[in-house]
Structure formats: C-alpha cells, structure tokens
Amino acid sequence: MKIVKNSKELERVVGQLKVQNRSIGFVPTMGALHQGHLSLMEYADKENDIVVVSIFVNPTQFNDKSDYAKYPRILESDIEKLNKVKCDIVFTPEESDMYPEEDKRQFDFGNLDKVMEGKHRPGHFRGVALIVSKLFEMVKPDRAYFGEKDFQQVAIIKHITKQLKFDVEIVSCPIIREEDGLAMSSRNMLLTKAQRENVSLISETLFEAKKIAKNSSVSETKDWVIRTINDNPFLKVEYFDIVDTETLETIKEWSQNVDKVGCIAVHVGNIRLIDNVRFYS
C-alpha cells in the first residue's frame, strides 16, 4: 500500500495508472474507519484494478465547529486497518493542500438539499460537493463507492456528478450494522457506555415501522417512530421523514408508485446519528 500525502504526488501516481489503462475504484472517507468503510473497499476491489482511499476530515461540510473539533482522528489506526484489506493507495492530505485558498463555488442541488440533512445542516452539502469534486478531479476514478447510511448524501453526489459531467460511476453500497442493528458510524466511538446501550432502539424502531406501516397511514407511521424513540430519555429525534428515493420529496400516501425510504437523525447527548430503512408498499 502506498501512502500519498499531497495532491501533486497523487496526480503523478494516478497519471501513471491511467497510462497503463488500470481501472480505479475510489472510496473517500473522513477516517475513523470501521467495517462499513472496509466493505466499500471490498466492493471497489471486486470491480477495479486499483483501490484508492482518501482520509480527510473536511472542514467545509461541518456547519457545527464543535462537531468538527471532536470528530475522531485516528490515522495510525486507520492505516493498520487499510493494511489488512485491498487498498493500493491511501491519500492523506492536509487542509492547506485541499484548500490552498477559499473555494467560493456554489452548486445547484435542485430541491435535494432543502429537506432533512440539508434543512438541519445548512451549508453541509455544499461542503460535501466541494470536497468530492476536488477529490474526483485528483483521483480520476472510474467508480466511487459510498455507503447508503448517508442516503441523502449519495443522492447529492449522483446529482453533482451528472451536473459537473464527471466520468465516474457512483456506486451506493448497503448499510453495515453492528450485531444489535446500530448502523456503523465513526461517531459511534464517541458514545458513552450508557448511550451505546440505548441507541440500538433507533434501528429497532425503523425495522418495526415497516410492520406498523402495513396497518397505518404514512403520517401515523412517522408519528409512531418519533414518539417511540423520544420516549427513551437518551434519545431525541431531530427529524424522521419518509421520502421518494429519487426526488427526496415527502411521501403522503403509501399508494404513491415510487420507491420509499425512511430517513432519521437522532441526537444522543451531543452526538448526532443518522440511519434509514426502505419501505415497500
């Protein structure tokens, strides 16, 4: 595995691979790697000659500076994990390399950033678009892999990839969960023991909601999810919505002939977790 620490070196290495017609699978991360990240690398390995992973805690996608400050940074441990999977190149740039000057670009996300995460984290998706577009330009991947836990983010990335005409296939991969159902997240390591014992209620409630939905309206199902989770003193729902998987518009009736996903954000003390589940009707 080759560790590349700056963009000029990355572009040189990638250029050599492109000359050799080697296909590149790319997994962008913010580090604090877990099995969810590693599963993306497994998908990338199956479909490409070379696997490139980036580790960079991107400041522009944090609308809460305290959240950015406490985001786990464990590069040495991450490198150890990458040595145990198929990772050919890991890119670990400094902020000054990714943002040598202020990037003032704006993006048109349509309505995709007006709901859920976009509504509650203003500016977040612009930051995501800034860093993903920069990384795509540097890595020049054939395919890029993202986890479906960040469902809205994947929709945004697919949108900007098409809008900016990147020749990259965006591959969304299934959520990887802990044994008790909790969606794997780098933020999970910040939970206290007591918090960790209670957060499995999030996924339990989402899975149960699929059964509740068979005999309840959309609004009744949403109310039940929010009430069930909020009844736990450790948890506070920020939002829960059931939306069209393509447009992210709120579903009003189960009879609507679109694919549906229920997306949730929950505060656990000062930690914020997200998850989602597909609804079929």
**258 and 120 both lie in a single domain:** no
Phi-psi region of 32 (alpha: psi -120 to 50; beta: other; left: phi over 0): left
For residue 43, what is the domain's CATH number?
Answer: 3.40.50.620
The reply to whether 167 falls in a domain is: yes
What is the domain range of residue 23? Answer: 2-173
Tell me the pLDDT band of 19, cut-offs 50, 70 and 90.
very high
pLDDT of 280: 86
DSSP-derived 3-state class of residue 24: strand
Q: Check whether 205 has a pLDDT greater than 90.
A: yes
**Helices vs. strands in the chain: H and E counts, helices first:** 11, 9
Of 173, 202, 232, which one is at a domain's C-terminal end? 173
Average pLDDT, integer, range 52-60: 98
**96-123: average pLDDT:** 96
pLDDT, average across residues 196-223: 98
Asked whether residue 94 falls in the same domain as residue 117, the answer is yes
Interval 242-272: pLDDT, tens: 999 999 999 999 999 999 999 999 999 999 9
Would residue 120 show up in a list of annotated catalytic residues for this protein?
Answer: no
132 plus 260 within the same structural domain:
no
Q: Which two tokens stand for residue 61?
A: 């996608």
Helix (H) or strand (E) holding 17: helix 7-19
Nearest by Cα to 219 from 194, 191, 241: 241
pLDDT band at 227 (very low <50, low <70, confident <90, very high): very high
**Running DSSP on this structure, what letter comes out for residue 244?**
E
Alpha-carbon span 236 to 223, nearest angstrom: 13
Pull the structure tokens for residue 192.
């206290």
- pLDDT for res 281: 63
Q: Tell me the C-alpha to C-alpha distance, in Å, between residue 196 and each of 117, 120, 202.
A: 23, 24, 11
pLDDT digits (tens, 9 = 90+) for 150-186: 999 999 999 999 999 999 999 999 999 999 999 999 9
**Together in a domain, 102 and 8:** yes
Altogether, the residues listed in the chain come to a count of: 281
Residues 126 and 218 occupy one common structural domain: no
Share of the chain above pLDDT 90, in %: 98
In a domain, 114, yes or no: yes
In a domain, 178, yes or no: no
Clarify whether residues 125 and 207 are in a common domain.
no
Residue of 34, 37, 120, 267 marked catalytic: 37
What confidence tier does 58 reach under pLDDT thresholds 50, 70, 90? very high
In the chain, the number of structural domains is: 2
Do 59 and 106 belong to one domain?
yes
Same domain, 94 and 159: yes
Q: How confident is the model at residue 44 (pLDDT cuts 50, 70, 90)?
A: very high
Q: Are residues 261 and 238 in the same domain?
A: yes
Q: Are 127 and 14 within one domain?
A: yes
